[in-house]
Structures are given as C-alpha cells and as structure tokens.
C-alpha cells in the first residue's frame, strides 16, 4: 500500500476510492463534525483529524507521503454560488499548495467543480498550476464525467494531478468506459422494489437514463431535495419526485412518482450500500451530495499508482525513493 494524506475529506468518497486503488491513509483532515463521525464510523482504522486545515502541519510528513489529495471546497468556483474564487474565504487552494510545499509528496490529486475551468478563473487556475510547477511537479488537468466510470450520474468534475518531476511521468487520465454505466432504473430497482411496490418494473423501464448531478447544498440550505427546477424536471422525466427525499422505498400500493431515499442517492454516487451516513436525513443527503464518487477517485488513483509502481520497481529502497523527492 502507498501512503496518502487527504484534506477536506468530507464523507469519504475520495478516500474510499483511493483506498480501493491501493492507498493507505496516514491522515484525513476534515473540519465538520458530522463528516468526521461518518469517516470514523465507517473506517475506525483511519486516522481522522477533525480540525481546521489551516492548523495542519505538513512538515512531520515531509518525504514520507506518496499522494496528497483533497477535494477543496467548491462554492468559490461553483455556478450555484457567487463564484468569488480567491476572494471567497472558503477557498482552500492556498492550504493545499502550502501542504504540497511542506510534505513534498510524490504525487498530488485535487478535485473541484467544472466552474474552475471558466474563463473568469483562468488567471487563478494558471496560478495554481504554476505554483505546483514551481514546487517541482508536472501537472495534468482534465474535466472528468462520473458517468464515464460506472457512476449513473451526470457529475462533471475537474481533476488536477501533479507528478513530481523527479519521477518518471507517464501519467494519463483513465480511459472512458461509459458502456459500463447502468441506468438509474437498473441501479436502483432492487431498492425501489424492496417493500413490494407493484409498479417497480414499470418505473425501472421509465428510469432508463443516468441521473442529473446530485446536489448536497450547504448548512444554510433547507431540507433535502434533488436540486433546482431543471434538475427536478429531469428527475420527473424518469418518474422520480425530486421535491424531497423519502425515508424508505414505496410500499405495495403506492401511486405516483416515488422519492429517492438517502441510500438510493448514495448508490447513485458510487458508494457501497454498507457505507453509513447516519440517521439524520438532511445531514446524510448533504454529505452524499457533496461527495466525490469513489469509482472516479479509484480510477484516477490507479493511474497514479502505475507511476508509483514503476518507481518502486526501479528504485528498490525507501531511501532511494525519498531522495528523488526531497532534494
């Protein structure tokens, strides 16, 4: 297993995907208590640091970490927000870059929303990439769609990967495999029919598309729902009531459009059914909607791992590996 540190770990989507790709988390930094409890509940062996990332010191880990990752907050760049970029107090790119400088990991992986690619953020985006280059990393940036990696959802996300210049950099983003992605109906049929709903088969046929982007919202957001008007219309076209979230699947005689449950939403995000988001529906839906789908993180992680595997094969000792970074 390769050693990793993750900041802004959320409910564990990226961490779970990277674990499945072969990374062992030395530390996961997360500020919100509900998210920290979720991480600890699902992976008691993970070292979860429930703290403000501004106070996380990277120097003790210098030269010891293979991958530094994080899904820094998206509101500064999201079209759903004010897109204040660097002027938004929630912008944590500076903290990620600080930790890159302090830790000197062999690779870096940063996830954010599609808005980061907007022309208005060109200067800031180039600043981030140039800073990584100044710290000794070759950078790769691409917009990835979750539906290309087995996740039944339209969820475009920008991923930045940095490979230290002292390593052999043949990184490429994972190949798209949209044919592996099932429809919403295929993905959720067993859950939707779990209480014997007599119209489940008809619903499955109607829900023959992938889902629109699942939203999480913020603490200021009201109760859980499936997004703004346009998203709700897309859900309605698949026979789903997007105005709220249900506690359980429809019963035998239910009439009309069913609502999704948090477990259904989590599955559409690529989480395994056993991942426990707690009993509070609004909090659970926020955690789910703000997550980075584990299958996408895993696929990117596997591409990074190929480079680390090559280095491990050609430079046998840990001392040799460390010396190729801490120069």
Give me the active site residues, please: 74
Cβ atoms of 49 and 73 within 8 Å: the answer is: no
Cβ atoms of 153 and 269 within 8 Å: the answer is: yes
Task: Look at residues 212, 214, 157, 209 and name the one whose alpha carbon lies nearest to residue 187.
Answer: 209
Cβ atoms of 158 and 111 within 8 Å: the answer is: yes
Cβ atoms of 143 and 149 within 8 Å: the answer is: no
Cβ atoms of 143 and 114 within 8 Å: the answer is: yes
Six-digit token string for 68: 């530094």
> What stretches of the chain show up as alpha helix (H) in DSSP?
13-21, 33-42, 93-103, 122-134, 184-192, 200-206, 229-237, 262-268, 281-289, 294-314, 318-323
In the numeric block, the tokens 């509900």 are attached to: 34
> For 55, what's the count of Cα atoms within 13 Å in the CB-facing half-sphere?
6
């Amino acid at each position: 297993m390769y050693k990793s540190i993750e900041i802004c770990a959320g409910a564990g989507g990226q961490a779970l995907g990277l674990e499945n790709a072969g990374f062992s988390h030395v530390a996961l930094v997360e500020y919100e208590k509900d998210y920290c409890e979720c991480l600890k509940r699902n992976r008691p062996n993970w070292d979860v640091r429930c703290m403000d990332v501004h106070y996380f010191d990277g120097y003790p880990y210098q030269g010891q970490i293979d991958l530094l990752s994080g899904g820094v907050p998206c509101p500064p760049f999201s079209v759903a927000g004010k897109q204040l970029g660097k002027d938004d107090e929630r912008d944590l790119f500076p903290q990620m870059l600080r930790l890159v400088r302090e830790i000197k990991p062999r690779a870096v992986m940063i996830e954010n929303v599609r808005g980061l690619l907007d022309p208005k953020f060109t200067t800031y985006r180039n600043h981030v990439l140039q800073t990584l280059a100044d710290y000794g990393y070759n950078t790769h940036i691409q917009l990835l769609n979750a539906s290309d990696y087995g996740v039944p959802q339209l969820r475009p996300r920008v991923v930045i990967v940095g490979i230290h210049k002292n390593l052999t950099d043949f990184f490429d983003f994972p190949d798209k495999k949209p044919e592996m992605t099932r429809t919403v109906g295929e993905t959720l049929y067993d859950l939707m029919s779990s209480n014997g709903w007599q119209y489940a088969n008809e619903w499955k046929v109607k829900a023959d598309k992938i889902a629109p982007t699942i939203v999480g919202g913020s603490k200021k957001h009201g109760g859980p729902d499936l997004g703004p008007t346009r998203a709700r219309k897309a859900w309605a076209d698949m026979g789903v009531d997007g105005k709220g979230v249900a506690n359980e699947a429809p019963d035998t005689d239910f009439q009309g459009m069913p609502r999704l449950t948090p477990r259904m939403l989590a599955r559409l995000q690529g989480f395994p059914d056993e991942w426990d988001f707690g009993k509070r529906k609004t909090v659970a839906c926020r955690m789910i909607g703000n997550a980075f789908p584990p299958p996408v993180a895993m696929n990117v992680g596997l591409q990074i791992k190929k480079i680390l595997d090559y280095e491990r094969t050609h430079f046998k000792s840990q001392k040799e590996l460390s010396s190729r970074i801490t120069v």
